[in-house]
């Protein structure tokens, strides 16, 4: 499926095996990176993998992922909640909008 998707605003996908997000986080503020990484954590299956760009890091969200390979920036998801003690649900600011892109 191809669709427009704003990582910081749109509802996250779910039950994904793999998220490849390379050279995107580096352009975001620390707060937005934290939000997006918590969405990725939610979106991945328990054994799902996350790929980041060479110069990207997890920062304050390091507890949400296990580093599988440092050189290639491959991470797997932990079972930890982004905010322990609180029921976890992604904080979504916009209504669900999943309109596939039209072919021109």
Q: Is 22 near ligand SAM (CB under 6 A)?
A: yes
Say whether residue 24 binds ligand SAM (CB under 6 A).
yes
Are 49 and 75 spatial neighbours (Cβ–Cβ below 8 Å)?
yes
Q: Which is nearer to ligand SAM, 53 or 81 (by Cβ)?
A: 53
* Interaction between residue 7 and ligand SAM (CB under 6 A): yes
Which residues bind to ligand SAM, rule: CB under 6 A? Answer: 5-8, 22-24, 27, 53
């Amino acid at each position: 499926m191809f669709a427009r998707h704003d990582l910081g605003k749109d509802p996250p996908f779910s039950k994904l095996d793999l998220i490849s997000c390379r050279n995107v986080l580096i352009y975001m503020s620390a707060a937005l990176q934290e939000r997006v990484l918590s969405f990725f954590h939610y979106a991945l299956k328990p054994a799902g993998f996350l790929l980041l760009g060479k110069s990207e890091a997890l920062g304050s969200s390091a507890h949400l992922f296990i580093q599988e390979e440092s050189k290639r920036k491959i991470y797997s998801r932990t079972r930890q909640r982004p905010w322990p003690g609180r029921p976890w649900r992604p904080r979504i600011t916009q209504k669900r909008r999943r309109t596939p892109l039209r072919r021109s």
